């Protein structure tokens, strides 16, 4: 068994394994992935007798985290040949990649799991539920027009997202024109594209769509007051493409009854991550706690966090340092669930190896949760 990180010109060697394990992906999608994504990503593999038996891909994204941004990694393409399963290969690849990302001081990594149970032993936790809904009846009201986006429109689409959408989130991917050019190719590989919706010459909305399995729409963004344009633009699209039936919509900005747990996060460099957190307005916070992290033991220390209300322009900034006196104990997974607002402090207090004093709990509640998250990338 040999673990290695492939060179860029070797990345295509993993395509056969991808085709074998993820056989629902079309040739067109894989052509896109290995041409656009795999040229810039990192691929870890395990070889036996020069045969690739297991792989893990890290796809690079620029991420917004509160008022900072960082180059982060999205874990995809985790796969092992059936004959080599139950040998710990996936765990080996995860540990190696997590260690390398820690060395780069990345605050966290994220993935879209095939099954939650695969990743919880490595301290990944769900943090983001995606809105799902279905349009059953749409009427074409002749007020707005929607058109297919081209490469030349991607700069305008990026500006629309940056000006109107990005500001609403604490955590999201940053999207320049190159991002949307790549996304356009991705959607086209799924028999879809990107639609731009106009009121006269004013861009009021965008969404992406796929047609491999009926009409599916992702990330419909519409300016406030123009939400009704969604129905009309979908009706226009159905007419153009001669499609009937219900339309599935994913990642709408409008809250829906149906939500699907979608993204899991793993905190990497804890000190860097803690420094990005904010204290609630007007609150004075000061506490310490021990962290248990068996995968990245460098995080297993006693941490002191506090803010300074006397600092006129940095009152909500969190200061972080190592200390010796602990008021309680948190696992890295429990901290993730709480900080990202996915579980209450009362819920994580019931988890194994978590010890919270009343004072520590009171202080931790003064942190602003990272619960405004928008991560919908597939690869």
Rounded Cα–Cα distance for residues 128 and 261 (Å): 6
49: left (phi over 0), alpha (psi -120 to 50) or beta: left
Backbone phi, psi, residue 211, to 5°:
-135, 20
Would you state the pLDDT for residue 286? 98
Evaluate if residue 346 carries a pLDDT over 80.
yes
Would you state the pLDDT for residue 141? 64
Would you state the pLDDT for residue 142? 75
Q: Give 303's contacts (C-beta < 8 A, 6+ positions apart).
A: 270, 271, 274, 288, 289, 290, 291, 320, 321, 322, 323
User: End-to-end CA distance of the chain, in Å?
Assistant: 27
Domain ranges of the chain: 2-111, 132-259, 269-368
315: left (phi over 0), alpha (psi -120 to 50) or beta: alpha
- pLDDT 10s digits, 167-204: 999 999 999 999 999 999 999 999 999 999 999 999 99
- pLDDT 10s digits, 94-111: 999 999 999 999 999 999
Evaluate if residue 13 carries a pLDDT over 70.
yes
Q: Where are the beta strands (DSSP E) in 81-187?
A: 108-111, 125-135, 145-148, 171-173
Would you state the pLDDT for residue 310? 83
Average pLDDT over residues 249-269: 96
What Å distances lie between residue 199 and 139, 303, 342, CA to CA? 17, 53, 38
- Residue 12 tokens read as 């295509």
Helix (H) or strand (E) holding 68: strand 68-80
Average pLDDT over residues 247-264: 95
User: What's domain 132-259's superfamily in CATH?
Assistant: Gcn5-related N-acetyltransferase (GNAT) (3.40.630.30)
Helix, strand, coil distribution of the chain in percent, nearest 5: 30, 35, 35
- Residue 305 tokens read as 């966090």
Domains 2-111 and 132-259 share a fold: yes
Residue matched to tokens 């940053």: 174
Rounded Cα–Cα distance for residues 131 and 364 (Å): 28
Would you state the pLDDT for residue 318? 96
Evaluate if residue 140 carries a pLDDT over 70.
no
| 132 in Cβ contact with 260 (< 8 Å) | yes
Rounded Cα–Cα distance for residues 219 and 374 (Å): 10
Rounded Cα–Cα distance for residues 253 and 122 (Å): 31
Q: Name the band, by pLDDT with cuts 50, 70 and 90, for residue 266.
A: very high
Rounded Cα–Cα distance for residues 61 and 175 (Å): 9
Average pLDDT over residues 209-234: 94
Average pLDDT over residues 311-340: 94
Q: Which CATH architecture has domain 2-111?
A: 3-Layer(aba) Sandwich (3.40)
Would you state the pLDDT for residue 143? 85
- Residue 70 tokens read as 């960082």
What CATH number matches the domain at 269-368, 3.40.50.360, 3.30.1050.10, 3.40.50.10490, 3.40.50.1400? 3.30.1050.10
Query: Which of these ranges, 28-42, 66-80, 178-192, 303-317, has the smallest mean pLDDT?
Result: 303-317
pTM more than 0.85:
yes
Beta carbons within 10 angstroms of residue 373's beta carbon:
20
Helix (H) or strand (E) holding 239: helix 229-241
Rounded Cα–Cα distance for residues 190 and 326 (Å): 52
Evaluate if residue 315 carries a pLDDT over 90.
no
């Amino acid at each position: 068994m040999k673990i290695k990180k492939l060179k860029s010109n070797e990345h295509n060697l993993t395509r056969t394994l991808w085709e074998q394990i993820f056989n629902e992906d079309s040739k067109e999608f894989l052509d896109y992935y290995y041409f656009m994504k795999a040229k810039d990503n990192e691929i870890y593999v395990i070889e036996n007798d020069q045969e690739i038996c297991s792989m893990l891909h890290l796809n690079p994204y620029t991420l917004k985290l509160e008022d900072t941004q960082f180059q982060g990694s999205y874990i995809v393409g985790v796969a092992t040949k059936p004959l080599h399963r139950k040998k710990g290969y996936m765990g080996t690849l995860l540990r190696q990649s997590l260690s390398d990302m820690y060395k780069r001081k990345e605050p966290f990594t994220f993935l879209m799991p095939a099954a939650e149970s695969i990743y919880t032993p490595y301290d990944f936790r769900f943090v983001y539920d995606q809105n799902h809904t279905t349009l059953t009846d749409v009427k074409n009201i002749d007020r707005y027009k929607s058109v297919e986006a081209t490469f030349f429109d991607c700069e305008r689409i990026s500006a629309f997202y940056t000006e109107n959408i990005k500001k609403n989130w604490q955590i999201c991917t940053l999207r320049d024109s190159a991002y949307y050019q790549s996304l356009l190719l991705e959607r086209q590989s799924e028999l879809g594209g990107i639609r731009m919706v106009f009121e006269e010459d004013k861009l009021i909305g965008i969404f992406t769509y796929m047609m491999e399995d009926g009409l599916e729409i992702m990330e419909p963004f519409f300016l406030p007051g123009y939400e009704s344009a969604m129905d009309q633009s979908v009706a226009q699209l159905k007419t153009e493409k001669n499609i009937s039936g219900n339309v599935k919509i994913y990642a709408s900005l409008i809250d829906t009854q149906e939500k699907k747990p979608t993204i899991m996060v793993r905190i990497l460099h804890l000190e860097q991550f803690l420094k990005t957190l904010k204290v609630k307005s007007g609150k004075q916070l000061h506490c310490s706690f021990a962290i248990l992290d068996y995968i990245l033991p460098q995080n297993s220390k006693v941490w002191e966090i506090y803010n300074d209300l006397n600092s006129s322009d940095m009152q909500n900034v969190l200061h972080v340092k190592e200390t010796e006196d602990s008021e309680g104990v948190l696992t890295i997974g429990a901290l993730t669930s709480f900080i990202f607002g996915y579980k209450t402090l009362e819920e994580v207090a019931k988890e194994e190896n978590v010890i919270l004093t009343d004072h520590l709990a009171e202080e931790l509640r003064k942190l602003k949760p990272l619960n405004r998250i928008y991560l919908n990338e597939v690869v």
